Amino acid sequence: MSWAQAVLLARSLSRGWGGICSTALTGAPFSQYHSSQQCQILNPLMEARVRTHILMDTSQVPLQAAHGLHCSTAMHTFDSSLVPHPPKPPRRPIKALALHEELFRKAPDGTREKASFVQAIQDFAQYNVHKRGHVDFIYLALRKMREYGVERDLAVYNLLLDIFPKEVFRPRSIFQTIFYHYPRQQECGIAVLEQMENHGVMPNKETEFLLIQIFGRKSYPMLKYVRMKLWFTRFRNINPFPLPRDLPQDPVDLARLALRHMEPDLSARVTVYQMSLPEDSKDAVDPTEPHIVGIQSPDQQAALACHDPARPIFVEGPFSLWLRDKCVYYHILRADLLPPEERKVEEIPEEWSLYYPMQLDLAYERSGWDDYKFNINEVEEGPVFAICMAGAHDQATLAKWIQGLQETNPALARIPVVFRLAGSAGELLASSSGPEGSSPPPSEGQEEEDDNQQRQQQGQS
Amino acid sequence: MNCCGLFLRSAAAARSCRALVAFAESRRLLRTSQPSRAFAKELFLGRIEKKEVFPFPEVSQDELNEINQFVGPVEKFFTEEVDSQKIDREGKIPNETLEKLKSLGLFGMQVPEEYGGLGLSSTMYARLCEIISLDSSIAVTLAAHQAIGLKGIIMTGSEEQKAKYLPKLASGEHMAAFCLTEPASGSDAASIRTRATLSEDKKHYVLNGSKVWITNGGLASVFTVFAKTEVVDSDGSVKDKITAFIVERDFGGVTSGKPEDKLGIRGSNTCEVHFENTRVPVENVLGEVGGGFKVAMNILNSGRFSMGSTVAGMLKKLIEMTAEYACTRKQFNRTLSEFGLIQEKFALMAQKAYVMESMAYLTAGMLDQPGFPDCSIEAAIVKVFSSEGAWQCVSEALQILGGSGYMKDYPYERFLRDSRILLIFEGTNEILRMYIALTGLQHAGRALTARVKELKRGNVTTVMETVGRRLRDSLGRTVDLGLTGKLGAVHPSVADGAHKLEENVYYFGRTVEMLLLRFGKTIVEEQLILKRVANVLINLYGMTAVLSRATRSIRMGLRNHDHEVLLTNIFCTEAYHQNLFTLSQLDKCSPENLDEQIKKVSQQVLEKRAYICAHPLDRMS
């Protein structure tokens, strides 16, 4: 974003804020807490820029700002806000934790769902009329939300916010506003909002009403709320390749989704070449009969049919693909790019169109100014003929895929197929905290370079 | 134009004198160009071949008398005996109607007299089509029979073939059909699947395959069929080439499917035709073996010009019907005819009818000239203009008629249904636009080869010449291609239109040159540009036709020629401004040129194969 735009944006935003918070914005946090960390703010323009910067990453800066003054244990690391899983809750005194932990533990017969979570919150309110230790409880509840599967439930978040005592933390004077009234509580409020943000939960009017009741208009949680309202909608559809919110659990369905996700051609057909045996018979993935799902478009089929049998084609992989927090692996069937001298120029037959000439008999070509052929983004690669996802990444499994492909591509029988399988690609999965990445391909002993490659491929795909 | 901008700066010093030289040269060039037969092609070079289009072609008094003898009874028959509504409802032309048509000789209008036909010239054929158009199902049936069905025999048949088939076809004893379209092959000749293989004794071809949407397919007994045959090339290799055959139903193995249920022209018979091991004697090959492509192209190209007069005839009838309604129906104590918006529609219909009639008869006149003039571009222009005019005018007519235009009890909605096919058959208008533009560009490209090459090489004289001409153009030159003035080809009453035509033609020539410079032979891929080029050319041809016809009418003092002057001026002015706009769209950097955005939108839609905008009621929270 350009400089001037940033300034304008900052101006208009702060104006939109209604001027009420402006004191809080411009004055207190930055001149006081920030000047020590960042360079001196020299003029109003610079200041505005700094402010925009803060507007851009909505989640972190207020917290960082808070950081300088209050060494509360609520440490929000940089990572926690980048990776979409719940922020690491602070290390609280163990006693307090143990205290409220019981509320969650006593959920009957271990069923963990919304009802029992709500019950726990209500229990807390009953058990503790004075709301003693409510901040600790909220942090604890935030951590527990995922276990109960309520991390995307707006009503639960509102319920959590409702635990805060009302009117107590509202600043009554301008000085209280400037000096970060009740920092621990505000921070806790922000943590709730941040977790909502990380799970893509849009706050509603009720949230706003609660925040005003609890912290007042001129507070950091309120600021966070406004920013969420502003930016959330604009970023929600930023991904041109959207994924469903809940990914299918079945690996075959997941593979289907992933293949469709990669293949731009809508006429491409997904084929399940082999189903894994039902789960109850053995462990999740049967080593002898893993699933094999492939995709191929009609164009790819035609290209494969025209392929010169003298040139081998390759099965390559596994390459990784991230679908939300799941990592899946795929293989491709590809050939090398033909050397330029062997490429056939597609000839236009003389008698083709009955109605109009398909080519002009002229000696001159397109002039340079209208030649858009050259494009640095178009790097020629060899043709890809098919993609597959399999439960196992060994040659035997992939050979089955090739066999399956031969049914629809008879030409494949004549073409030599070379398997170029990377030793492993497990490292990405290890770093992911997803409950199950489809099936971790084998293991250790890979080098850093592999790692980098994998990452790049992931980026491309 | 932008490249000239670059030259402009570099040549600032020399421009004034160069410009004068260039101007003089270009004028001389225009004056001394060789006479040629192709009017539309020369327009691409910015020239008007006056000899071709001025004066408007005429028929002799004898011919006129002769044609009027035909016209009278045919018109009487169509107005009194043909029940179009019944034909449309039942989806069949009654046998007695067909018999009457045969007895009137309408099945052999263009068949030479020695074979028992009427031997009409193109002009007279167009005149009769005007009347036949009163029932579109009959018009289509007859057109499929003689404009394409038996045309192959007339054009390329041997003497024996003509003698064997034409008499019976001309009398209507046999009906002909043209079998080209296949399930996998519309305009793509390479994907024709029907195959003819030479039998062992080399006396027969065995024909196998199926053809779809064959007009008269169920009624015809003689088919012109196009099929792939193996042909040994000059270098000894065996190739699949298309060959045309005359196939009789009696050869065996010919079956036709059930008649298709169509939107319009419901009385015409359209069905599938299957050939199964049909044995066709070698002597029934039409033209050369392997020469079927040319045969098909020539037949298709020759059949188009008559659509102009056909549609004009229909529009005249429609104007009568709607005018009757508009002058009798009262609203707010005023007849509809008193309302401006209704009047405008009548002006539009009259103008379109006038233009397409002029175009059709001008083209027919050109075709009737001795030799075999190549008027395929002109014919395609007539087809595109008249079919689109028909759709537009019928739609406007229905607008005048209001609700009654929509009801099946009235005849009007049938006109709408029937006219929709005009945009589609005999080559869709899109494909014909490609044909118009590319054929002309090929001609212009050849003529300009030397100049373009020198420009690309950077020959100083040529560059200066071009720059000078550009400069002269941008300073607003008055274009004079010699249409007006003393003893000019155009009458002074319509001189204004002639000036507009001249200006358009001149700048069209410049634009074509620029396009060829920019794209060279890859212009084939630029369909949006080709469409615009074709649109300009259609307008230019229309302007020429009306100017020529109006001039003739004024000079002869025909009835209501002042009305023609009005129509001519309206059309010329409208077309002139349309052309200016289109020409500016052809400029690469002009704000009117939205090609890039249009392409992007369609690309995004087609990638998703759906309309991709969010619903207006969608919310984000």
Regarding whether B277 and B149 lie in a shared domain, the answer is: no
Contacts of B485 (CB under 8 A, 6+ apart): none
**Chain B touched by A238 (CB under 8 Å):** no
Residues of B in contact with A349 (CB under 8 A): 190
Q: Is B5 a member of any domain? A: no
Regarding whether B231 and B160 lie in a shared domain, the answer is: no
Regarding whether B594 and B579 lie in a shared domain, the answer is: yes
Regarding whether B376 and B324 lie in a shared domain, the answer is: yes
**Residue A147: per-residue pLDDT:** 86
Regarding whether B373 and B277 lie in a shared domain, the answer is: no
Write out the residue range of the structural domain in which residue B133 sits. Answer: 53-171
Regarding whether B284 and B241 lie in a shared domain, the answer is: yes
Regarding whether B600 and B453 lie in a shared domain, the answer is: yes
Which whole number is the average pLDDT over B359-366?
A: 94
pLDDT in tens, chain A (461 residues): 455 555 455 455 445 444 444 344 443 333 334 433 444 434 444 444 434 444 444 444 343 433 333 333 334 433 334 434 444 444 444 444 556 777 777 655 666 788 888 988 888 888 877 888 899 999 999 998 988 888 889 999 999 999 999 998 999 998 888 888 899 999 999 999 999 999 889 999 999 999 999 999 989 999 999 999 999 888 888 888 888 888 898 889 999 999 999 988 889 999 998 887 655 554 444 456 788 999 999 999 998 998 888 889 999 988 999 998 889 999 999 998 888 777 777 777 777 888 888 888 888 888 777 776 665 555 678 889 999 998 888 888 899 999 999 999 998 989 999 998 886 544 444 333 334 434 444 433 333 334 444 444 444 43
Regarding whether B282 and B302 lie in a shared domain, the answer is: no
**Chain B touched by A204 (CB under 8 Å):** yes
Q: Is B315 a member of any domain? A: yes
Give the tens place of pLDDT for each residue, A295-352. Answer: 999 999 998 998 888 889 999 988 999 998 889 999 999 998 888 777 777 777 777 8
**Residue A453: per-residue pLDDT:** 43
Say how far apart CA A223 and CA A24 lie, in whole Å.
10
**Chain B touched by A361 (CB under 8 Å):** yes
Write down which residue in B375, B407, B428 finishes a domain: B428
Residues of B in contact with A345 (CB under 8 A): none
Give the tens place of pLDDT for each residue, B281-325. Answer: 999 999 999 899 999 999 998 888 889 999 999 999 999 999 999
Q: Is B361 a member of any domain? A: yes
Q: Is the pLDDT of residue B32 over 70?
A: no
Residues of A in contact with B241 (CB under 8 A): 351
Write down which residue in B294, B321, B349 finishes a domain: B294
- Is B426 considered catalytic here? yes
**Chain B touched by A353 (CB under 8 Å):** yes
Q: B456 vs A356: CB contact, 8 Å cut-off?
A: no
pTM of the model: 0.80
If one counts the domains in chain B, the total is 4
Regarding whether B158 and B219 lie in a shared domain, the answer is: no
Q: Is B14 a member of any domain? A: no
Q: Is B226 a member of any domain? A: yes
Regarding whether B167 and B227 lie in a shared domain, the answer is: no
Q: Which of A264, A355, A361 sits opposite B431 (nearest CB)?
A: A355
So where are chain A's domains?
Answer: 93-238, 240-276+288-340+379-422
Q: Which of B52, B426, B502, B564 is an active site residue? A: B426
Residues of A in contact with B621 (CB under 8 A): 202, 204, 229, 232-233
Q: Is B42 a member of any domain? A: no
**Chain A touched by B456 (CB under 8 Å):** yes
**Residue A28: per-residue pLDDT:** 39
Regarding whether B546 and B441 lie in a shared domain, the answer is: yes
Q: Is A133 left (phi over 0), alpha (psi -120 to 50) or beta?
A: left
Residues of A in contact with B517 (CB under 8 A): 367
Q: Is B217 a member of any domain? A: yes
Give the tens place of pLDDT for each residue, A136-183. Answer: 999 999 998 988 888 889 999 999 999 999 998 999 998 888 888 899
Q: A369 vs B188: CB contact, 8 Å cut-off?
A: no
Say how far apart CA A427 and CA A446 lie, in whole Å.
8
Q: Is B480 a member of any domain? A: yes
Q: Which residue of A has its CA nearest to B450?
A: A363
Q: Is the pLDDT of residue B104 over 50?
A: yes
Chain A, 12-51: which have a CB under 8 Å from a chain B CB? none
Distance in Å, alpha carbon of A352 to nearest chain B alpha carbon: 5
Q: Which of A232, A360, A366 sits opposite B445 (nearest CB)?
A: A360
Q: For B205-253, give the DSSP string.
A: EEEEEEEEEEETTTT-SEEEEEEEEEEE-TTS-EEEEEEEEEEEGGGS-
Regarding whether B347 and B314 lie in a shared domain, the answer is: yes
